């Protein structure tokens, strides 16, 4: 046995699929800087330089008694290369990474990779080519060289600085000549470092533009204010019909948070579609908020990331990955439109940003507010069980009243063959056009037609790489797969029976509705809103401007139009196919349809005029359609809750999906079969499957699924981990675990 000094060995987590940190040693010239959990450092890994983070657990004790052969192992630890000149990541972020990894059954390093995405480029140190001077790590006083007044003044000045200073700055501030700096550099006392980039974020002004809140809103803001002052974890559901002023309420909460010097994080479902939100923020606070989403440039990303870490941001608005930013000093988290399924990240690390935001708030000891007109059943149940506080806003602001909802029973009032607008909707539309108000036609389906088939032989045009139909996009004269983007020119003949001109479109997409609208309302100015026409945030903002300036009469759109837009002239919404989404294997199909249609209805009549929503349906007796007709969201959710409670479906039980995929069908099936032989035999765990996934082929990979239903009080992760460890996974086979799945495809 031998005793060894471990004080210079540190655990470092790297942003790759590793579960545990690696150990490195700290060379003596770097030891003068105290290193602790969260410090960003550069280390060698397989001959490359990588950024890693000094991890917070598994720190070794000061000294260890170790058998001889282990000492050899410890001697093999490589020294770290350098320490990045940045503050350490907050401890709560390291804990968050651990938590998300454990919950989603992902390697911790892979989760850390999401956090470090903002600074990967710093590895190259080209972020800012400008350099300045710092006191060298190895020499920090004038030992061994002659002391002069100028040298001491220079060092005294630099010791007070946190960042490198340029020659010009030192000359000016320390009142010395440039030759002193040059000389100290030659002696090895000063060294050159890259300068940090200037912060681009301005502080919001909470007094910039106040509005007077109504009594109901004030109750909510006072409650939230109290939560923000309390400085501890709390969760609140802020529920209110569209247009009731929820956004105004939480803007005040943000102001309260700024006021106490803390940071607010706001998650929006689709940040690229949030130009109106950002304008509103600017109107309220006089500056733009910091943004975090996938459309940022590399530089914006880097600046935002570093500014977050340096505490230079007070309000950050982002998409789900903003949860992984190194924000210090969080004082408030807001999740707007909390029911939106786009908060679920479906690729890579599979996580639900709303749920992880709750975890983040717990670890950061701050309040979180979930906002929605139509909260998810999960959140409603938490509110009901008093885990969350519940605030409600029941009136629309000012004169605006809720729209009238009319069901158009398509069985009684059908359109002519091959058309999709019922005579009733056409009549109502013409009336509104005559009054110079706006109309929205909503159909959540891109393209011209969802199915193309051969009139002669019945052949259906399918994607060769996915189990899915090809969608006609007539404007591009193409058939496109919406899952893998495979596309072909629209064929002149049936590929199966070779009959010419025999392929016909079945069913409508918004292109087809647009065609019908153009012939039915030839004078109307029409704008199409879908991801095919709004290809960038700028294009989206442009479209919104046209609508709000009343340069458009008729908007035809997919779910993009359902987002919290405010269209003051819009008074009629026509839902082309209210039944779409009601069928299928999705557990939340009804809930999602209701939320989406409710959201769309919320676009109507937001100012003085009462709006009308017309729902075209062939299923007028379906509970969702009936709930919509009554405009009674709560009643529908009670009905839905009962349905789910009986079968222990979420939120009364927990689901986990396991998706097995490989590029040949046999291997996929065989792996699924092997797994099924070891499936857990626990009372409170029910394993369904394996079966071919509804998308049995996706991007050339064959897919099988298990669905595991378990009781809420059981931690399912160890069960799954144990299960998956029972088989040896063949090369090329991928096994994904989706805890709390939203998609069942």
**Residues in touch with ligand ADP (CB under 6 A):** 211-214, 217, 240, 242-248, 397, 564, 566
Q: CB under 5 to 8 A by kind: which of ligand ADP, Zn ion, none does 484 bind?
A: Zn ion
Shortest distance (Å) from residue 301 CB to ligand ADP: 29
Q: Indicate which of ligand ADP, Zn ion, none lies near residue 248 (CB less than 5 to 8 Å, by partner kind).
A: ligand ADP
CB of 243 to ligand ADP, least distance (A): 4
CB 263 within 8 A of CB 331: yes
Cα gap 689→651, rounded to integer Å = 21
486 binds, among Zn ion, ligand ADP, none (CB under 5 to 8 A by kind): Zn ion
| Cβ neighbours around 47 below 10 Å, total | 5
Q: Residue 244 binds what, of Zn ion, ligand ADP, none (CB under 5 to 8 Å, by partner type)?
A: ligand ADP
Residue 366's Cα: distance from chain center in Å? 20
- The residue among 240 and 367 lying less far from ligand ADP, judged by its C-beta, is 240
What are the backbone angles phi and psi of residue 434, rounded to the nearest 5°? -65, -30
What is the Cα–Cα distance from 718 to 670, expressed in whole angstroms?
Answer: 24
- Report the nearest approach of ligand ADP to the CB of residue 209 (Å): 11
Q: Please identify, using beta-carbon distances, which residue of 220 and 616 lies nearer to ligand ADP.
A: 220
| Cα dist from 289 to 24, 609, 689, whole Å | 39, 33, 47
Q: Which is nearer to Zn ion, 465 or 566 (CB)?
A: 465
CA atoms in the 13 A half-sphere facing the CB of 83: 24
Omega before 702 within 30 of 0, i.e. cis: no
Distance of CA 739 to the CA centre of its chain: 16
Partner touching 478 among Zn ion, ligand ADP, none, CB below 5 to 8 Å by kind: none
| Residue 213 contact, options Zn ion, ligand ADP, none, Cβ 5-8 Å cut-off depending on partner type | ligand ADP
Q: How far is CA 522 from CA 316, 514, 516, 569, in A?
A: 45, 11, 10, 20
Asked if omega into 690 is within 30° of 0 (cis), the reply is yes
User: How far is Cα 582 from Cα 642, in angstroms, rounded to an integer?
Assistant: 18
Which residue number, 244 or 617, has a Cβ lying nearer to ligand ADP? 244
Q: Look at residue 223 and give the partner it binds from ligand ADP, Zn ion, none, a contact being a CB closer than 5 to 8 Å depending on partner kind.
A: none
Cβ proximity to ligand ADP, 450 vs 602, nearer residue: 602
Closest distance to ligand ADP from the beta carbon of 675 (Å):
46
Nearer to ligand ADP (CB atom), residue 231 or residue 549 = 549
Smallest distance from the beta carbon of 398 to ligand ADP, in angstroms? Answer: 7
Q: Minimum Å distance from CB 658 to Zn ion? A: 23
Binding partner of 711, given Zn ion, ligand ADP, none, CB within 5-8 angstroms per partner class:
none
**Size of the chain, expressed as the number of residues it contains:** 745
Task: Please tell me the distance from the alpha carbon of residue 137 to that of residue 186, in angstroms, as a whole number.
Answer: 15
Closest approach of ligand ADP to the CB of residue 251, in Å: 8
Question: Which CB atom, from 236 or from 671, has the smaller least distance to ligand ADP?
Answer: 236
Taking the least distance from each CB to ligand ADP, the nearer of 268 and 685 is 268
Which CB sits closer to ligand ADP, 248 or 355?
Answer: 248
Which of ligand ADP, Zn ion, none does 242 bind, CB closer than 5 to 8 A by kind?
ligand ADP
Question: Binding partner of residue 217 among ligand ADP, Zn ion, none, CB under 5 to 8 Å per kind?
Answer: ligand ADP
Give dist(CA 196, CA 436) in Å, integer.
Answer: 55
Tokens for 453, please give them. 């088939």
Minimum distance, C-beta of residue 495 to Zn ion, in the bound complex (Å) = 16
Neighbours of 542 (CB within 10 A): 12
Tell me which of Zn ion, ligand ADP, none is bound by residue 276, counting a contact when its beta carbon lies within the kind-specific cut-off of 5 to 8 angstroms. none
Q: How far is the CB of 339 from ligand ADP (least distance, A)?
A: 14
**Cβ proximity to ligand ADP, 212 vs 385, nearer residue:** 212
- Binding-site partner at residue 557 among ligand ADP, Zn ion, none, CB < 5 to 8 Å by type: none
Cα–Cα distance measured from residue 258 to residue 202, given in angstroms and rounded to the nearest whole number: 12
Pairing mode of beta strands 190-194, 63-66: unpaired
Task: State the minimum distance, in angstroms, from the CB of residue 214 to ligand ADP.
Answer: 5
Give which of 337, 312, 295 is closest to 163, Cα–Cα.
312
Q: Is 516 exposed, middle or buried (0-12, 13-18, 19+ CB in 10 A)?
A: buried
Residues 6+ apart with CB under 8 A from 246: 238, 240, 336, 371, 373, 393
H or E stretch at 486: none
* Shortest spacing between CB 548 and ligand ADP, in angstroms: 11
Nearest distance in Å: CB 630, ligand ADP: 21
**Residue 465's binding partner, choosing from ligand ADP, Zn ion, none, with beta-carbon cut-off 5 to 8 A by kind?**
Zn ion
* Nearest residue (CB) to ligand ADP, 566 versus 670: 566
CB of 726 to ligand ADP, least distance (A): 49
Which H/E stretch holds residue 172? helix 167-174
Residue corresponding to tokens 């099988």: 704
Using the minimum distance from each CB to Zn ion, give the nearer residue, 153 or 699.
Answer: 699
Q: Report the distance separating Cα 462 and Cα 455, nearest Å.
A: 15
Q: Which residues contact 34 (CB under 8 A, 6 or more apart)?
A: none
CB of 606 to ligand ADP, least distance (A): 7
Long-range contacts of the stretch 461-468 (C-beta < 8 A, 24+) = 461/491, 461/495, 461/503, 465/697, 465/698, 465/699, 465/700, 466/695, 466/697, 466/698, 466/699, 467/694, 467/695, 467/696, 467/697, 467/698, 468/695
Nearer to ligand ADP by Cβ, of 396 and 703: the residue is 396
240 vs 447, which CB is nearer to ligand ADP? 240
Residue 244 or residue 382: which is nearer to ligand ADP going by CB? Answer: 244
Half-sphere exposure of 263 (CA within 13 A, CB side): 23
Which of 139/246 has CB closer to ligand ADP? 246
The contact set with Zn ion (CB under 5 A) reads: 463, 465-466, 481, 483-484, 486
Tokens found for residue 640: 């839905």
Name 574's bridge partners. 441, 614
Which of ligand ADP, Zn ion, none does 508 bind, CB closer than 5 to 8 A by kind? none
Question: Which letter does DSSP use for residue 350 in this model?
Answer: -
Tell me whether strands 685-698 and 701-711 are parallel, antiparallel or unpaired: antiparallel
Least Å distance, CB 248 to ligand ADP, is 4
Q: Which two tokens stand for residue 208?
A: 């910039």
Tokens of residue 529, six digits = 């809103």
Q: Which does 247 bind (CB under 5 to 8 A by kind): ligand ADP, Zn ion, none?
A: ligand ADP
Residue labelled with tokens 């710092």: 134
Strands (E), 56-213: 63-66, 78-79, 82-83, 131-135, 190-194
Nearest approach in angstroms of CB 416 to ligand ADP is: 38
Residue 310 binds: one of Zn ion, ligand ADP, none (C-beta under 5 to 8 A by kind): none
């Amino acid at each position: 046995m031998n005793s060894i000094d471990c004080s210079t060995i540190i655990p470092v987590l790297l942003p790759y699929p590793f579960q545990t940190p690696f150990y490195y040693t700290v060379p003596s010239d770097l030891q003068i800087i105290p290193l602790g959990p969260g410090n960003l450092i550069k280390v060698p890994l397989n001959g490359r330089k990588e950024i890693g983070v000094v991890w917070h657990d598994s720190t070794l004790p000061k000294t260890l008694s170790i058998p001889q052969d282990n000492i050899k192992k410890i001697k093999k630890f490589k020294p770290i290369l350098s320490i990045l000149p940045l503050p350490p990541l907050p401890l709560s972020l390291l804990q968050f990474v651990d938590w998300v990894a454990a919950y989603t059954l992902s390697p911790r390093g892979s989760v850390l990779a999401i956090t470090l995405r903002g600074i990967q480029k710093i590895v190259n140190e080209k972020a800012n080519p400008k350099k300045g001077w710092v006191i060298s790590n190895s020499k920090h006083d004038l030992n061994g060289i002659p002391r002069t007044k100028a040298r001491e003044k220079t060092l005294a000045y630099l010791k007070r600085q946190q960042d490198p200073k340029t020659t010009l700055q030192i000359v000016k501030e320390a009142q010395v000549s440039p030759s002193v700096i040059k000389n100290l550099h030659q002696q090895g006392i000063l060294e050159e470092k890259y300068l940090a980039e200037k912060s681009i974020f301005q502080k919001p002004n909470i007094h910039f533009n106040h509005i007077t809140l109504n009594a109901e809103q004030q109750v909510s803001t006072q409650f939230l204010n109290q939560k923000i002052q309390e400085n501890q974890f709390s969760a609140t559901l802020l529920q209110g019909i569209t247009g009731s002023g929820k956004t105004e309420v939480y803007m005040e909460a943000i102001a309260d948070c700024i006021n106490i010097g803390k940071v607010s994080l706001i998650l929006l479902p689709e940040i690229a579609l949030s130009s109106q939100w950002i304008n509103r923020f600017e109107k309220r606070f006089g500056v733009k908020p910091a943004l975090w989403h996938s459309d940022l440039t590399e530089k914006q990303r880097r600046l935002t990331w570093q500014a977050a870490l340096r505490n230079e941001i007070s309000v950050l608005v982002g998409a789900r990955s903003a949860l992984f930013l190194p924000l210090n000093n969080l004082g408030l988290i807001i999740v707007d439109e909390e029911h939106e399924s786009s908060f679920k990240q479906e690729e890579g690390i599979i996580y639900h940003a709303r749920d992880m935001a709750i975890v983040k708030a717990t670890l950061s000891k701050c309040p979180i507010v979930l906002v929605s007109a139509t909260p998810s059943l999960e959140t409603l149940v938490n509110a009901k069980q008093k885990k969350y506080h519940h605030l409600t806003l029941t009136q629309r602001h000012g004169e605006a009243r809720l729209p009238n909802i009319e069901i158009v029973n398509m069985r009684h009032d059908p359109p002519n063959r091959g058309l999709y607008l019922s005579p009733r909707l056409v009549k109502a539309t013409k009336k509104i056009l005559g009054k110079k108000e706006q109309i929205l036609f909503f159909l959540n389906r891109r393209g011209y037609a969802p199915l193309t088939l051969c009139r002669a032989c019945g052949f259906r045009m399918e994607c060769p790489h996915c189990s899915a139909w090809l969608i006609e996009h007539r404007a591009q004269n193409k058939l496109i797969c919406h899952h893998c983007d495979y596309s072909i020119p629209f064929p002149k003949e049936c590929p199966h029976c070779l009959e010419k001109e025999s392929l016909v479109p079945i069913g409508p997409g918004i292109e087809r509705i647009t065609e019908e609208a153009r012939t039915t309302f030839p004078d109307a100015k029409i704008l199409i809103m879908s991801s095919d026409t709004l290809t960038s945030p700028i294009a989206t903002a442009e479209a919104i401007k046209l609508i709000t300036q009343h340069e458009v009469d008729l908007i035809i759109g997919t779910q993009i139009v359902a987002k919290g837009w405010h269209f003051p002239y819009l008074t009629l919404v026509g839902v082309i196919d209210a039944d779409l989404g009601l069928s299928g294997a999705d557990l939340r199909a009804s809930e999602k349809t209701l939320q989406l249609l409710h959201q769309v209805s919320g676009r109507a009549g937001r100012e003085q005029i009462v709006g009308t929503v017309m729902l075209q349906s062939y299923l007028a007796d379906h509970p969702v359609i009936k709930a919509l007709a009554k405009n009674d969201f709560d009643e529908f959710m009670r009905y839905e809750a009962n349905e789910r409670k009986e079968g222990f479906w979420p939120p009364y039980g927990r689901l986990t999906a396991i998706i097995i995929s490989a590029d040949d069908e046999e291997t996929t099936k065989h792996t699924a079969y092997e797994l099924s032989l070891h499936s857990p035999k626990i009372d409170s765990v029910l394993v369904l499957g394996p079966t071919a996934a509804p998308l049995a082929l996706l991007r050339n990979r064959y897919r099988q699924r298990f669905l595991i239903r378990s009781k809420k009080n059981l931690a399912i992760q160890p069960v799954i981990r144990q299960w998956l460890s029972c088989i040896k996974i063949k090369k090329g086979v991928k096994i994904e675990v989706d805890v709390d799945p939203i998609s069942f495809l």
